[in-house]
Chains A and B, each alone.
Chain A
Amino acid sequence: MASKFTRSNSTGWLMAGPAAVLMGLFIVLPFLFAIGLSFTNQRLISPNPTQFVGLSNYSQLLGIGLLTLEPERDDAGEILREEDGTVSYPALRGYTRNNPDYPQFDGMREWFSVSLGESRTYVLARDVVFAKAVVNTIIFVLVVAPVQGGLALVLALLINQKLRGINVFRAIYFMPVVVSIVVVSLLWRFIYDGQSGLLNNLLGALTFGAFPRIDWLGNPSTALGAIIAMSIWQAVGFHMVIWLSGLQTISPSLYEAAAIEGASKWQTFRYVTWPGLRNTAVLVLIVITMQAFALFAQIDVMTSGGPLDSTQTIVFQAVERGYGKQDISGGSTISVILFVFVLAISLLQRWLTREKK
């Protein structure tokens, strides 16, 4: 294969040339810059010279510490309790702020904590917002990839029929993809509105007012879910079309053979359709995963990462730091981390979905 790639293939190179040059100029080159900048203290705008800072940007983002605290006790050795009955522990800021005995925790904040018996173990992160952004992004990917892919397949199977007016349905399902994600996000902000939003009115009407009004985007427990639902709806049509193209490459003679053999609908799907969609499935899975990791526009328009960091994402943080806070080196570092992350997952997906011989 390699020899064919390099030898007497000038036409191929000529055709790939324009795209390759543009991608090199606007994707590969900036990314190489980002790797370089992530080892410096480069600012967006500053009269100060750029300095090499080694790995400090990475340790600033990824630094994590563990601290186990014993409950506070009164003089008699009894465990002190808060007003609500929970065990009282010494304040964390006594350990994380200007405490010379714990220099390794200086500037860290609580990410989450777990109780083990009487003592409580705190997981501290140097950059809690980034840590939360990573977790939110992973949750987003884990939900969106299977649900959006599966839903798109169902829709593709539904519209892959010879029915009158089926093109109307194809158009309807595909429509959200054509509309800009910014516009879609703005519209869904109205739908999710806590006071008079469409969703609240709809749920209220269906339950005769029994359903309480929820501020979908203003509530930390619903905000990410609301964005996930909207994102799935928006892009499902795109993947439906890819599935559809895969469905149409399956030879009709296979279906005829299955029908002659007396296969049920499920058997036809399981043993004819699904194996035929193998390569499409790999493509859809990888594309959704990569798109989901790049979650940005919805967050920027709808929540700006709030409330209480419940919708922070990796790319939103990269932009927020690089441009908003003028910290190009910090933004670059996040981009590099994200790249390594996505690359690793894509390679893993390739390996898991490889053709076993």
Chain B
Amino acid sequence: MTSLRLLATSIAITTAMSSATFAQTTLTMWYHGAGNEVESNIVNQIISDFNASQSDWVVEMQSFPQAAYNDSVVAGALAGNLPDILDVDGPVMPNWAWSGYMQPLQIDEAKIANYLPGTKGVWNDQLYSIGLWDAAISLVTRKSYLDELGLRVPTLEQPWTGDEFMDALAKAKASGKFDYALDLGTAWTGEWYPYAFSPFLQSFGGDIVDRSTYTTAEGVLNGDAAVEFGNWWQGLFNDGYAQATQDPADRDNGFNSGKYAFSWNGNWAALGTLDAYDDVLFLPAPDFGNGPKIGAASWQFGVSAASEHPEGASAFIEFALQDKYLAEFSNGIGLIPATASAAAMTENYKDGGPLAVFFDLSEAQALVRPVTPGYVVAAKVFEKALADIANGADVQDTLDSAVDEIDADIAKNNSYGF
């Protein structure tokens, strides 16, 4: 209901604004970053630069709070009121493209040749969306903690094995210095679960759906590797290494105030941690047998299918793909710039910069979430399964029923075109 009302207001505002323009064609744009002033300023800067750079198009932006953004786009699409340009979370893009909300981008492939793979939204061999940044997750800890606990510092070439990781947690718990050994961020419900935790499953050898066919989850989400993952996951909570329900305040400040020895957190939170401690380490994901993995893809820009001026919308997106804007986003809100050349222009991601490690992590370990329209539903099912297992549900039964639910959804949608 709230999103619908929001939508109605936004439509009213966009209509009111578009009547004020003159010979130029107005392009409307929706963005998910309402409430974040720094982010809004950067986007507004890009828009005013673009509007000043040519005389054909005028881009006008409408911001939404992130929590209501996806609902607003779906409601807008159902009502036939989508803007020309919209931004989309990477794993959701195939769903919108398949549903006919988005059209392929018309931008020069050469311009994005050196972009990080996670920033390119490709569906059905066509580029639908492109991101100015990526996000990455690391195992955050302090050098002094590792020294005290007598642990080696894992590297990209030689990450911790699963056993080494569990040994580290056991030692951290035994030291008695921390409330909990590991901060997984279970307070962040929603997309955080599949984004942050499905890479563990993939490192064990399972997955959310079978990526060879995309028509079933049988065998990958409830097979031996997945059950092994589930038992490990349940053990984290049963053995007291992590909390199944976490106070959101502890997620935000717990590691920085010494409550946890390790924190599984994204690069967007890294600047705060660097302020809190001077010996922070951003460690690569542990390897549970099938390589260390972290999630890839963040918010990206695309063109809605309803746009009457896709060439103008694409021109704007192409205009935004400049290293200086990539660098500005990175400096402003700590995101990983999409190109190495932009990274070199930033304070944190240039060679030797405090967050440069995230750029390397993203390049070396990142795996996009399953590229299928069914991901939206599968992600919800996966989240519930992990929460249930963390709270003590039977691992095999829970994963079986998750598989049933994902498969039923795929069947209901005629295999999503696969």
Contacts and interface: CB of A to CB of B under 8 A. Distances in A.
Contacts of B95: 45
A252 to B, nearest CB: 45
Contact of A307 (B98, B245, B408): B245
A36 interface: no
A320 B396 CA distance: 24
Interface stretch (A155-163, A212-220, A331-339): A212-220
B388 interface: yes
Contacts of B247: 193-196
A93 B399 CA distance: 11
B380 A45 contact: no
Interface string B301-315: 000000000000000
Nearest to A310: B391
Contact of B388 (A215, A308, A327): A308
Given A45-B101, A220-B391, A325 B245 contact: no
A141 B357 CA distance: 54
A107 interface: yes
Contacts of B409: 325, 327
A326 B376 contact: yes
B397 A325 contact: no
Contact of A109 (B100, B387, B397): B397
Contact of B393 (A107, A194, A308): A308
B366 to A, nearest CB: 27
Interface in A195-230: 195-196, 215, 217-218, 220
A346 interface: no
Interface residues of A, number: 33
Interface stretch (B71-79, B145-153, B161-169): B71-79
B99 A323 contact: no
B111 interface: no
Given A97-B400, A218-B244, A326-B377, A304 B98 contact: no
Given A41-B412, A46-B413, A307 B396 contact: no
A187 B250 CA distance: 17
B387 A47 contact: no
A110 B387 CA distance: 19
A93 B397 contact: yes
Interface in B236-250: 244-245, 247, 250
Interface string B373-407: 00011001100100110011100110011001000
B387 to A, nearest CB: 5
Contacts of B155: none
A308 B392 contact: yes
A107 B222 CA distance: 14
Contacts of B19: none
A324 interface: yes
Given A128-B401, A307-B391, A323 B245 contact: no
B414 interface: yes
Interface of B is mostly: helix
A44 to B, nearest CB: 7
A101 B384 CA distance: 30
Given A47-B100, A193-B247, A195-B247, A93 B400 contact: yes
A43 interface: yes
A306 interface: yes
Interface-centre pick from B78, B376, B391 (highest chain A CB count, 10 A): B391
A329 to B, nearest CB: 9
A340 B393 CA distance: 32
A8 interface: no
Contacts of A309: 388
A253 to B, nearest CB: 48
A41 B410 CA distance: 12
Interface in A56-107: 92-93, 97, 107
Interface string A285-305: 000000000000000000010
A295 to B, nearest CB: 16
B15 interface: no
With a 10 A CB-CB cut-off, give which of A41, A45, A194, A196 has the most chain B CB atoms: A45
A324 B380 contact: yes
Contact of A308 (B74, B77, B391): B391
Contacts of B78: 44-45
Nearest to B73: A45
B253 interface: no
A48 interface: yes
B406 to A, nearest CB: 10
Interface string B329-359: 0000000000000000000000000000000
B100 to A, nearest CB: 5
| Most B CB within 10 A of own CB, among A41, A304, A306 | A306
B189 interface: yes
B245 A215 contact: yes
A101 B401 CA distance: 20
A218 B387 CA distance: 11
Contacts of A41: 412
Given A45-B78, A45-B99, A306-B391, A323 B397 contact: no
A319 to B, nearest CB: 10
B397 A43 contact: no
Nearest to B394: A110
Interface of A: 41, 43-48, 92-93, 97, 107, 109-110, 128, 193-196, 215, 217-218, 220, 304, 306-309, 320, 323-327
19 contacts: A41-B412, A43-B413, A45-B77, A46-B413, A48-B413, A93-B397, A93-B400, A97-B400, A109-B397, A110-B397, A128-B401, A194-B245, A306-B391, A307-B387, A307-B391, A308-B388, A309-B388, A327-B409, A327-B412
Given A41-B412, A218-B244, 12 more contacts: A45-B74, A45-B77, A46-B413, A93-B400, A215-B245, A218-B245, A306-B391, A308-B388, A323-B74, A325-B376, A325-B377, A325-B381
